[in-house]
A = this chain, B = another copy of it.
């Protein structure tokens, strides 16, 4: 070791030291291009390697972890090409849904790159690197081909170079990657060539990470303009309604404080449920998602002279707007509504768009300067006060004919709202027919719903549940975790069940066995064979096959009617979970919920009431 190396540490160790500031678990799959890097993780005992079964599952798991991690961060490590491409769909999902995930890829060696760049074409032909596709019109392989494929799904993309190592800029790239994914709520990429993990590099381990750049005090002109517009409107309004959307997620306690002080009616959105406010607040009025809102919620929001839609994450599922609903069109055209998104504000629906702002910065300042004495006191009638949350009561259970030999999705939904869900429960829901019922499920205090409803990649929820459970365990939180899983989507990512066993994670898995893709049967092809499953899997035996043959770590339940469901609830369903519960719910394959039929336009919201 030369003198100049005294304060240097191996590059891989530096990477893991920095990661340990913002996470406790690192997900992924080993491969020959990342093995030397992975060896270094053992140098940083604060970090735990969590090996997934495949890379797509690793990306989903990381997504779930990031949503719970107090540092709003997660990391997965894959190998060149074969690994990183497999993960790509999961990364695109995190991009679409705004989740901070750092994807570290063990890429081709610096020395292999040098051959590809400097050699002649015949050298290139005989010097190919495995895992790397051949060039399309040349014998040269493009070592950046995979990096380019990920560009559209990342807010940061850098590769460690020889210059970084020589000039001491490795830590800048590592810190930059972590800071970018956190600040932008988006995935980012860091490529680590397979031959650099042991190189010694300069570092400053005590340098703080600058994760929340939007906390800076200086507003630009656009931000000032938005702030003043909002304050002005708020002071003039007699009865504002406040929609707390996804990008307020790092301001939850401030939001709750604001709503308690102002007594404004408030709403969550499908993307923000339990994330940005507590749905047991007295002034909480339900889940607002424009056209898709339960009828009562729409009736409520119409009464406000001002709607503050803050933290806005606008997309097809969280703010459904088809342009075809005349009642909604008329309302939007005349409603004083202000959107404050991550990077834009809009004053009036499709009226004035203001870009080049940080919504979080504006919101921070809004809270700082808001003069509560100028806010008009809201007088509510007793009837309004007592009405409480306006979930649509589409489950007219009293009117339903219970069937002794059958279980209905509506019964499950009803019991979740009324009996199963407990304070602090986190419920993940797979994109399934059931996902369209979520707006009607009542959340308990500190409860939360996670559903990838816009990107909507089925298979997401099971591995994401692994990540959620692992983050809770890592950060000593003891919330229960429930997973509402369809059997069709469970096929996609099934093997990740085994991680619950390996890491002693104990979710309640409500496996809705409805023999196929019921959500798609409702769209088209109700009886077409492509909506059937590959086989009748035995959910009672599955976790035994995954290694828990003595049922030390899991219990199984098979529920075929409402009575059996009620028995499970009274005996087990409301208690802390000390084993994984595999609760198989036998449902009919044509058991479409009202929510799904309304969404598809096959039933009107009025009929569903």
Partner-B contacts on A (CB < 8 A): 30-32, 35-36, 38-39, 41-42, 49, 51-54, 56, 81-82, 85-86, 88-89, 92-93, 95-96, 121-123, 125-134, 136, 139, 142, 145, 148-149, 152-153, 155, 314-317, 319, 321, 323, 344, 346, 350, 353, 453-459, 491-495, 498-499, 501-502, 517, 520, 523-525, 528-538, 541-542, 544-549
Chain B residues with CB under 8 A of A525 = 30, 35, 38-39
The answer to whether A538 and B545 have CB atoms under 8 Å apart is yes
Q: Could you tell me the distance between the alpha carbons of A544 and B493 in the complex, rounded to whole angstroms?
A: 18
Report the minimal beta-carbon distance from A255 to chain B, rounded to whole angstroms: 23
Chain B residues with CB under 8 A of A130 = 315-317, 453-456
Q: Could you tell me the distance between the alpha carbons of A53 and B316 in the complex, rounded to whole angstroms?
A: 27
For A39, A49, A528, which residue has the most chain B Cβ atoms within 10 angstroms?
Answer: A528
Partner of A133, one of B152, B314, B499, B547: B152
The answer to whether B547 and A545 have CB atoms under 8 Å apart is no
Chain B residues with CB under 8 A of A457 = 81-82, 86, 131
* 18 pairs, CB–CB < 8 Å, chain A vs chain B: A32-B523, A49-B530, A54-B459, A54-B492, A56-B86, A81-B89, A96-B134, A122-B346, A122-B353, A126-B319, A126-B321, A126-B350, A128-B316, A498-B535, A499-B534, A502-B534, A535-B548, A536-B547
The answer to whether B546 and A39 have CB atoms under 8 Å apart is no
The answer to whether B458 and A520 have CB atoms under 8 Å apart is no
Residue on B with the closest CB to A290?
B126
Report the minimal beta-carbon distance from A351 to chain B, rounded to whole angstroms: 8
Report the minimal beta-carbon distance from A25 to chain B, rounded to whole angstroms: 13
Residue on B with the closest CB to A351?
B122
Q: Could you tell me the distance between the alpha carbons of A133 and B32 in the complex, rounded to whole angstroms?
A: 31
Determine how many copies of this chain the complex contains: 2
Report the minimal beta-carbon distance from A523 to chain B, rounded to whole angstroms: 6
Q: Could you tell me the distance between the alpha carbons of A15 and B89 in the complex, rounded to whole angstroms?
A: 27
Residue on B with the closest CB to A492?
B54
Q: Could you tell me the distance between the alpha carbons of A133 and B321 in the complex, rounded to whole angstroms?
A: 18
Report the minimal beta-carbon distance from A31 to chain B, rounded to whole angstroms: 7
Enumerate the 5 nearest inter-chain pairs by beta-carbon distance, A residue then B residue, closest first. Answer: A82-B457, A85-B89, A545-B545, A535-B547, A53-B491
Chain B residues with CB under 8 A of A86 = 56, 86, 89, 457
Report the minimal beta-carbon distance from A455 to chain B, rounded to whole angstroms: 7
The answer to whether A81 and B92 have CB atoms under 8 Å apart is yes
The answer to whether B534 and A544 have CB atoms under 8 Å apart is no
Chain B residues with CB under 8 A of A95 = 133-134
Chain B residues with CB under 8 A of A93 = 82
Report the minimal beta-carbon distance from A359 to chain B, rounded to whole angstroms: 14
Partner of A92, one of B53, B56, B85, B316: B85
Residue on B with the closest CB to A350?
B122
Report the minimal beta-carbon distance from A341 to chain B, rounded to whole angstroms: 9
Report the minimal beta-carbon distance from A525 to chain B, rounded to whole angstroms: 6
Question: Do A534 and B353 form a contact, CB below 8 Å, given A30-B517, A82-B89, A88-B88?
Answer: no
Report the minimal beta-carbon distance from A470 to chain B, rounded to whole angstroms: 13
Report the minimal beta-carbon distance from A226 to chain B, rounded to whole angstroms: 16
The answer to whether A534 and B88 have CB atoms under 8 Å apart is no
Partner of A152, one of B52, B145, B524: B145
The answer to whether A321 and B520 have CB atoms under 8 Å apart is no
Q: Could you tell me the distance between the alpha carbons of A354 and B456 in the complex, rounded to whole angstroms?
A: 49
Chain B residues with CB under 8 A of A346 = 122
The answer to whether A30 and B494 have CB atoms under 8 Å apart is no
Report the minimal beta-carbon distance from A218 to chain B, rounded to whole angstroms: 23
Report the minimal beta-carbon distance from A295 to chain B, rounded to whole angstroms: 21
Give me 17 other A-B pairs in contact (C-beta within 8 A), A35-B523, A131-B457, A541-B544 excluded: A30-B517, A36-B524, A53-B494, A56-B86, A82-B455, A82-B456, A88-B88, A96-B134, A122-B353, A128-B454, A136-B152, A142-B152, A145-B152, A498-B535, A498-B537, A535-B547, A541-B545
Q: Could you tell me the distance between the alpha carbons of A52 and B534 in the complex, rounded to whole angstroms?
A: 7
The answer to whether A531 and B30 have CB atoms under 8 Å apart is yes
The answer to whether B546 and A127 have CB atoms under 8 Å apart is no
The answer to whether A133 and B455 have CB atoms under 8 Å apart is yes
Partner of A149, one of B36, B152, B316: B152
Report the minimal beta-carbon distance from A518 to chain B, rounded to whole angstroms: 12
Chain B residues with CB under 8 A of A499 = 534-535
The answer to whether A538 and B547 have CB atoms under 8 Å apart is yes
The answer to whether A502 and B535 have CB atoms under 8 Å apart is yes
Chain B residues with CB under 8 A of A36 = 524
Q: Could you tell me the distance between the alpha carbons of A500 and B498 in the complex, rounded to whole angstroms?
A: 22
Report the minimal beta-carbon distance from A330 to chain B, rounded to whole angstroms: 16
Chain B residues with CB under 8 A of A85 = 88-89, 92
Partner of A544, one of B92, B456, B545: B545
Chain B residues with CB under 8 A of A56 = 54, 56, 86
The answer to whether B142 and A49 have CB atoms under 8 Å apart is no
Residue on B with the closest CB to A456?
B130
Q: Could you tell me the distance between the alpha carbons of A353 and B41 in the complex, rounded to whole angstroms?
A: 46
Q: Could you tell me the distance between the alpha carbons of A149 and B42 in the complex, rounded to whole angstroms?
A: 35
Report the minimal beta-carbon distance from A420 to chain B, rounded to whole angstroms: 27
Report the minimal beta-carbon distance from A262 to chain B, rounded to whole angstroms: 28
Chain B residues with CB under 8 A of A316 = 128-130
Residue on B with the closest CB to A56?
B86
Q: Could you tell me the distance between the alpha carbons of A533 and B501 in the complex, rounded to whole angstroms?
A: 12
Residue on B with the closest CB to A86?
B89
The answer to whether A537 and B528 have CB atoms under 8 Å apart is no
Residue on B with the closest CB to A89?
B85
Question: Do A125 and B534 form a contact, CB below 8 Å, given A82-B455, A456-B82, A525-B38?
Answer: no
Q: Could you tell me the distance between the alpha carbons of A344 and B135 in the complex, rounded to whole angstroms?
A: 14
